[in-house]
Amino acid sequence: MTKFTHAVAAAMFAAILSLPAHAQGDAVQGEVKKIDETAGKITLKHGPIKNLGMDQGMTMVFRVNDPAVLKQVKVGDKVEFEAENGSSGYTVTKIQKSR
């Protein structure tokens, strides 16, 4: 390898390392339809969730990682959230009111 090839390879490697990790996927827009604090669940009407293989929007129930986040939203709120398919089913990992 030439010095130029080494430099290009090093630059590409550095660029890859600087990319953000997307383990959970991009944020999804939704609307809170129901909150069940006792069960730690939230019902959201949402658009497609690509990282879960959902190409269409729908309304569905999610578990939440931290039940305390359910106190930050109320029925009717527009939200932005991230979800994953965990061992206990579809789980909201982040949620916040939309701006």
Query: What pLDDT, in 10s, does the model give residues 46-79?
Result: 999 999 999 999 999 999 989 999 999 999 999 9
CA distances in angstroms from 89 to 12, 85, 86, listed in the order given = 37, 5, 5
Confidence (pLDDT) at 95: 95
Confidence (pLDDT) at 24: 44
Residue with tokens 């990282």: 51
Number of domains the chain contains: 1
8 is a domain residue = no
Show contacts of 38-41: CB within 8 Å, 24+ apart.
40/64, 40/67, 40/70
Residue with tokens 């006792």: 38
Q: Global pTM?
A: 0.73
Pairwise pLDDT comparison (26 vs 5), residue with the higher score: 26
Count the Cβ atoms, other than its own, within 10 Å of residue 19. Answer: 7
- Output helix, strand, coil percentages for the chain, rounded to the nearest 5: 25, 40, 30
Is residue 37's pLDDT more than 80? yes
79 is a domain residue = yes
Q: Measure the CA–CA gap between 86 and 56, rounded to whole angstroms.
A: 20
72 is a domain residue = yes
17 is a domain residue = no
13 is a domain residue = no
3 is a domain residue = no
Q: What is the mean pLDDT of residues 67-93?
A: 94
| Average pLDDT of the chain to the nearest whole number | 83
Give residue 76's domain range.
25-97
CATH of the domain at 67: 2.40.50.320
Confidence (pLDDT) at 47: 94
Q: Measure the CA–CA gap between 26 and 22, rounded to whole angstroms.
A: 7
Confidence (pLDDT) at 22: 39
